Structure 1
Amino acid sequence: MGLCSCTEQHDGRRVVLTGGPGAGKSAVLELARLFFCDHVRRLPEAAGIVFGGNFPRNGRVDIRRAGQRAIYHVQRELEATVLVENAATVVCDRGTLDGAVYWLGEGSLWEEVGSTREEELARYYAVIHLRTPAASDYNHDNPLRIESHDEAQQIDQRIKEVWAGHPRYVEVPATEDFLAKAAHALAHLRDFMPECCRVRNEARLRSLAVFQ
């Protein structure tokens, strides 16, 4: 992450980086750390914090519902931590709406946490959806990734549906060359930044060969 001389007061606009399992969110977030200035803050995935901390995870509906409630509240608190740091752009590894994709049983996640889908959509300035790759490029290395490729594709489609209607929703299709996919995602992220940071980060992105 590079230093930035900008002293303007920023509004901390939240940009969601989402996608089905294996879409490459972690790699894109790492590239964002390397190529964008320090006014671009990255948040970890709430589900990784919850399940990586050994929260119960099995097929029981009541356990799965409890997990999604926990993820929702962790996500909201993660987003709150950057409000006092003058971040220009807060890149969220998934957003609160992703939890609705995994919700089971009667009612909705929003009823359980005292919110609405419309309220959650309005929290985010933009949404960048990385599409899950083909079976030949699906990565099984992440120990927290338990989904088969078919399951990952189904989740990816539900993610598209749950974010439908957001005014700044963009898709980044899967490509054989992951660097090209990552470059497209970073270009969208740059475009969603305030003008001051967009100009300063343009030169950094140009150092990636794929932007030439």
Structure 2
Amino acid sequence: MKKQLKVVVTGGPGGGKTTALDLFRRELGDKIAVVPEAATVLFSGGIPRSDNEQMVKIIQKTIFQLQKNFEEIHKKQFPDRLLVCDRGSLDGLAYWPGTETDFFKGVNSTFEHEIARYDAVIFFESAAITGHDISSNNPVRNESTDQAAQLDVKLQKIWSRHPHFYFVSSSESFVRKIMFGIMTIENVINMHRRP
């Protein structure tokens, strides 16, 4: 049986990820299944954000597990489609108020195990990096421009360790960004379709 492909679309807040995913869905139709972002589902479901370190750890562990469960559900529901994940299991590491070692101990996994779960990573750099507005229509997102820029740097450090890491710069036009992302996903599909 052919391995099902899984791609992460990630990046700091205000990178255009959500818009890109909506367009991916329209452009690629039934070739892909988009796995929703676990954090957005959790926070929009009534779980409050917290600055308390213990609460943040519990929330991040919940998001980590929920993300993996969402991916598993989509894998079973759409076995013939490429899974495109709105963020991945390693995103929580950027929000974790402790060390990397502590994070993996907390979620009972390893960096190597988590990075190997994905075939490619498409990273949309946040507009905050270049000082642009990052206001969004996502009501559960509350980061300031500075916080978004810091998160972007942390997330890039984590995900750039993937062997198939594709970076989409915020200095490019938004249309180019989206086109590059769609082309990258199509390339990943085509690469793995070859006999």
Structure 1 runs (4+) deviating above 3 angstroms are 194-198
Q: What is the CA deviation profile of residues 132-162 of structure 1, one whole-angstrom value per residue up to 9, with x for unaligned ones? A: 0133332244321111111101100100111
Q: CA RMSD in A?
A: 1.9
Q: What is the CA deviation profile of residues 68-105 of structure 1, one whole-angstrom value per residue up to 9, with x for unaligned ones? A: 00100100100101223223310000000110000013
2:117 aligns to what? Answer: 123
Between Structure 1 and Structure 2, how many residues are aligned?
190
Q: Is the 8 A contact 2:75 2:83 kept in 1?
A: no
Q: Distance in 1 between matches of 2:192 and 2:118?
A: 20
Normalized per residue, the structure richer in helix is 2
| Aligned partner of 2:11 among 12, 19, 41 | 19
TM-score, L = length of structure 1? 0.83
Larger CA Rg, structure 1 vs 2: 1
Q: Distance in 2 between matches of 1:130 and 1:44?
A: 16
Q: Distance in 2 between matches of 1:141 and 1:83?
A: 28
Change (3 A) 1:68 1:196: closer
Q: What is the CA deviation profile of residues 176-197 of structure 1, one whole-angstrom value per residue up to 9, with x for unaligned ones? A: 6311111111111111114587
Q: Is the 8 A contact 1:11 1:86 kept in 2?
A: no
Report the identity percentage.
34
Q: 5+ unaligned residues in a row in structure 1: which ranges?
A: 1-8, 199-212
Q: 5+ unaligned residues in a row in structure 2: which ranges?
A: none
TM-score, L = length of structure 2? 0.90
| Aligned partner of 1:157 among 133, 137, 153 | 153
Q: What is the CA deviation profile of residues 23-43 of structure 1, one whole-angstrom value per residue up to 9, with x for unaligned ones? A: 111101100110103131101
1:189 matched to 2:182: no
| Aligned partner of 2:132 among 129, 136, 158 | 136
Q: Distance in 1 between matches of 2:139 and 2:131?
A: 18
